[in-house]
């Protein structure tokens, strides 16, 4: 159920290898497989992938992400039908959110501003959280200030980012936009003509 798909072009952009390892086999061996091995060895996830062809070349990669089983994972609940139904519904909802987040322009902006890394994109809980709780707020800002307003906000957030925030980037980003949005809305109430003008507001000063 956790099968995000990313084009090879996007992967090369994310890993900054557009002009390196021009043959896919080299890219796969030097970049893709190494990253997968690191994730499988040092995180609570098992990741595999399959290559999707378009014509004669590899067009995209479908990642299969599963959480590793732990000895204390309450295995007895596997026999609880109600628990299983609820668990499946949550997994399906999360899978939808993850897919939407992977395809979102805001994910690209976070990557561009180094507020999110390709490694963190394998964290399905993080990606689902961004889609559910952060990206709707970016939609509000976009409606008020346009996409450039969102870009300016993220650029500012990146410039002011503290090291501690990296431990919970979704919470940090949510707090930042929740603090900024009221300022933007207040500006538009006080000076309607500013609604079409990009502004940073007091929180950005």
- Look at residues 71, 102, 128 and tell me which one is the last residue of a structural domain: 71
Spatial contact of 101 and 130, defined as CB atoms under 8 Å apart: yes
Structure tokens at 74: 């309450």
> Does residue 88 share a domain with residue 54?
no
> Does residue 199 share a domain with residue 116?
yes
Single pTM value for the model: 0.53
Residue-wise pLDDT tens digits, 126-162: 999 999 999 999 999 999 999 999 999 999 999 988 7
Distance CA 14, CA 10 (A): 6
Q: Residue 36 belongs to what domain range?
A: 1-71
> Does residue 97 share a domain with residue 62?
no
> Does residue 93 share a domain with residue 67?
no
Residue-wise pLDDT tens digits, 111-121: 999 999 888 88
* CATH code, domain carrying 25: 1.10.10.10
The single residue listed with the structure tokens 């889609």 is: 131
- Look at residues 47, 71, 95 and tell me which one is the last residue of a structural domain: 71
> Does residue 194 share a domain with residue 111?
yes
> Does residue 46 share a domain with residue 117?
no
């Amino acid at each position: 159920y956790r099968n995000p798909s990313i084009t090879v072009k996007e992967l090369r952009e994310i890993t900054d290898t557009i002009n390196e390892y021009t043959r896919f086999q080299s890219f796969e061996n030097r970049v893709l497989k190494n990253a997968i091995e690191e994730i499988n060895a040092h995180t609570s996830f098992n990741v595999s992938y399959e290559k999707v062809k378009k014509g004669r070349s590899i067009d995209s990669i479908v990642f299969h992400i599963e959480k590793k089983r732990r000895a204390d994972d309450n295995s007895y609940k596997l026999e609880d039908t109600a628990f299983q139904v609820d668990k499946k519904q949550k997994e399906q909802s999360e899978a939808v959110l993850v897919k939407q987040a992977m395809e979102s322009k805001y994910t690209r902006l976070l990557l561009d501003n180094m507020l999110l890394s390709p490694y963190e994109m394998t964290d399905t809980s993080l990606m689902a959280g961004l889609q559910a709780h952060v990206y709707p707020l970016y939609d509000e800002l976009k409606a008020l200030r346009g996409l450039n307003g969102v870009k300016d906000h993220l650029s500012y957030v990146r410039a002011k980012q503290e090291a501690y925030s990296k431990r919970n980037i979704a919470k940090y980003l949510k707090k930042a936009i929740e603090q900024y949005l009221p300022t933007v809305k207040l500006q538009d109430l006080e000076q309607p003509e500013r609604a079409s003008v990009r502004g940073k507001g007091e929180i950005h000063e």
